[in-house]
Every structure is written in C-alpha cells, then in structure tokens.
Amino acid sequence: MNEDTIPLPATMYAVHSSNRLTMLMQRTGTGQSISSRELAKAAGVAAGTIGALMSGTQRAVPEDKAKRIAAVLGIDLLVLFVPLERAGRSFVPAQVGV
C-alpha cells in the first residue's frame, strides 16, 4: 500500500427493518427458524449485535457482518440490508414494515 493512500472505511449496511429481520429468522432460506443466539454464532457476530438489530437500538453493521448474517439466513444481502453512503454515512432508512 502506498503511504499516501488512506484506506476507506468499511461500507456500513443498515437493516431495512427490525420486523423484516425477525420474519427472516422465523423462516430462513432453508425453511427452518433460527434463534438470535444461533444466528449470532453461525454468522460470527456478538449475540448482542443481533439483539440490537432486532430491537432497533442498532441500525447498521459493517459490510462483512451484514454479508455473514445474510448468508446464514440464506438470503441476498439486499433483502435485509441497504448500504449507507460513505460520505458522512448520513442515510439511514426509516423503519418500515416488511
């Protein structure tokens, strides 16, 4: 890496809605349900992160975590998450129904 190159921060992804996350956990891509602890363990994220995403107290996670969560649920990344703008990361979608 060139010493003049500043690494860009990771793209953050916000959950479309906590209701959608809950629904997708009730019926994953395999048709089975998954608990928040099971999802956290399988995706390699803290159980508190999943709980916070479900409750709406946390809206966004880095791209790598979003991809792992989506993969465990058996869905496309953009079914559950929306990328935030890099400059200022000002866009956070409103919580809407599924």
Tally Cβ neighbours within 10 Å of residue 22.
14
- Sorting pLDDT into bands at 50, 70 and 90, what band is 98? very low
**For residue 66, pLDDT beyond 80:** yes
Write b or e for each residue in 34-45: b if 16 or more Cβ atoms lie within 10 A of its Cβ, otherwise e: bebebbbeebeb
pLDDT at position 93 is: 52
Mean pLDDT of the 19-24 span: 94
**For residue 88, pLDDT beyond 80:** no
Q: For the chain, give the percent of residues with pLDDT over 90.
A: 67
**Dist CA 17 CA 80 (whole Å):** 8
Whole-prediction pTM: 0.79
Residues in contact with 48: Cβ distance below 8 Å, sequence separation at least 6, in sequence order: none
